[in-house]
Amino acid sequence: MSARVGFIGLGKMGQPMASNLARKGFPLLVFDVDSAAIARLVEAGARPASGAGDVGAHSDIVITMLPDSASVEQVILGDTGVLEHLAPGSLIMDMSTVDPLLTDRLAAAARDRGCVFVDAPVGRLASHAERGESLFMVGAADFAFARVKPLLDAMGTTIHHCGEAGAGIRTKLVNNYLAIVSCAFNAEALALSQRFGLSLEKTLAVIHGTTATNGQLKIAWASKVLKGDIEPGFTIDLAHKDLNLIVEAARAGGVPVPIAEVARRSFSAAREEGFGGKDFSAMVDALCDRAHITRPRLTND
């Protein structure tokens, strides 16, 4: 008999991931504070739940994909939350990007109730999730990883078992540190190039031929801001949230991260200027607007 799967959080990432599970035949119970989001999953073959506790009471595996640490804590540990209603032996897999110390508390709380906890934050974008091409960074005991792997296979193409519970979210923060800070210094470098009056195409050709290049600039920016598309794959608001998590986690671990702190101020400024809902590659537009510099754009091929 297939495990009963519950999914809580049907937002920009959760919706396509849950839809992939439903399409691939997993018995799925879903909940979100947005009733329209639930209705869309019901059309895809899922069953609606009345709340997080209902999902916990009627699922063997509960997946959460929520916007922040406070939401995850309330949904899992609240009086009407998942863990209060979950049967011993059940499993919770949180896929949100949260404070790793919260992940540790959730793992301990699950263990105290005879349940299992897995953290499996998501790499890549909503467009990848829609195609079932997500990347997952998983923190789990070996037996728990084996238990959730069929679900991860149904939602993504790349799965990294990073270690025990808590290793997944910590890997995600390291990855996002590099991705987000790359956007901050790429913005400054290209703004400087624009101020110097240099050819954007020639400047990029030089950068991409040396160790100065990076994946954000070479791959992501080339298809987003440098082509004039700043509609979000990953927003400046979310990048700022993750920088907060990174700085606080580093502080808790006694690791100085002055570059992250400066980048956080840069992202804060972009949010204050109205760019929060735009793609995080739009950091260069925010900076250029502030300095009255022409926004960098590649000419058509």
Q: 117: which 2 tokens?
A: 């906890």
* pLDDT exceeds 70 at position 1: no
* pLDDT exceeds 70 at position 245: yes
Q: Considering the entire predicted model, what is its pTM?
A: 0.94
What digits encode the pLDDT tens for the residues 14-58? 999 999 999 999 999 999 999 999 999 999 999 999 999 999 999
In order of start, what are the domains of the chain with their CATH numbers? 5-165 (3.40.50.720), 170-291 (1.10.1040.10)
Which of 67, 6, 61, 10 minimizes the C-alpha distance to 33? 10
Catalytic, out of 172, 224, 241, 278: 172
The three-class DSSP label of residue 229 is coil
Q: Residue 139: its pLDDT value, please? A: 98
* C-beta of residue 100 within 8 angstroms of C-beta of residue 130: no
**pLDDT averaged over every residue in the chain:** 96
Q: Residue 301: its pLDDT value, please? A: 54
Report which residue type is found at 122. Answer: V
CA 21, 24, 28, 33: dihedral to nearest 10 degrees? 40
Report, as an integer, the average pLDDT of 227-255.
Answer: 96
Q: Residue 125: its pLDDT value, please? A: 85
For 107-144, b/e burial (b = at least 16 CB within 10 A) is: bebbeeeebbbbbbbbbbbbebbbebebbbbbbbeeeb
Report, as an integer, the average pLDDT of 259-280.
Answer: 98
Active site (annotated) includes residue 172: yes
* C-beta of residue 4 within 8 angstroms of C-beta of residue 61: yes
The three-class DSSP label of residue 136 is strand
Q: 157: which 2 tokens?
A: 């193409």
Q: Residue 2: its pLDDT value, please? A: 78
What digits encode the pLDDT tens for the residues 62-109? 999 999 999 999 999 999 999 999 999 999 999 999 999 999 999 999
Report, as an integer, the average pLDDT of 158-165.
Answer: 98
Which residues contact residue 159 at a Cβ distance below 8 angstroms, ignoring those fewer than 6 apart? 135, 136, 138, 149, 152, 153
Q: Residue 126: its pLDDT value, please? A: 85
| C-beta neighbour count of 53 within 10 angstroms | 20
Instruction: Give the pLDDT band (50/70/90) at residue 124.
Output: confident
Give 163's strand partners.
139
